[in-house]
Amino acid sequence: MHLDRILQSQGFGSRKECRKLVRDGEVKIGGLVVTDPFAEYDTAGFVCEIGDWEWEYAEKVYIALHKPAGYECSHKPKHNESVYHLLPEPLVARDAQSVGRLDVDTTGLLLFSDDGQFIHAISSARRQVTKSYRATTAQPVEAAQIEALLAGVQLHDEPAPVAALEARQVGERQIELVIDHGKYHLVKRMIAAAGNHVDQLHRHAVGALSLEDGSLPELEPEDWCYLRPKHLALLGYTG
């Protein structure tokens, strides 16, 4: 594939803009500056350097971000910074979208992709991909609250009680719970229905992909990484 087309496919602008990027000496391949935008390269294993970044060709992109508090999962945030500001512009330009959302004050693992099939598979309630959270509560946790979360709590807009797959107390004011739903403010609403209130919420895992067990590279808040086939397998996704 011509170099300008490769760069365009990866989010570096229009073909005209990508040609200019190459002709201006902004692209390196194998450590050497290339200036011919029409040079042909095999996309398999293709890597180039642009600015301070090393970019590898990917037909579809899959990303894990450690989301900090204070960011909205929207391209047009109303009151805070957009979570998309934490990703390099080429990834946003190629239309990588968040897989579901985390509230502005919720931290933790957030996935992105430009693969619509992947987004649907991870988000779909029918696929029942689990999400694991750690909630810090306003009041000390009571055994009855854990029992209620496991048995199912009644929410105002749900016809039937909603239960956590797992729930356990891990501190005086901390609960860890696993759900397979993705509804609006669900964890906060469940804990409120059980008789407590969430002060802080952190999602540490999606499926078997976790920020805490070594299944991902160590990510500090605001850090991101590409997901490899081994990571997608932990999500049960094979394409």
Residues identified as active-site? 103
Is the CB of residue 49 less than 8 Å from the CB of residue 55? yes
Alpha helices (runs of H) in 32-170, residue ranges in sequence order = 89-93, 116-123, 143-151
To 10 degrees, the CA torsion angle through 227, 45, 60, 83?
Answer: 50
C-alpha span between 205 and 153 (Å, rounded): 23
100: its two tokens: 């579901």
151: its two tokens: 């048995």
Residue 92 carries which side chain, given as an amino acid letter? V
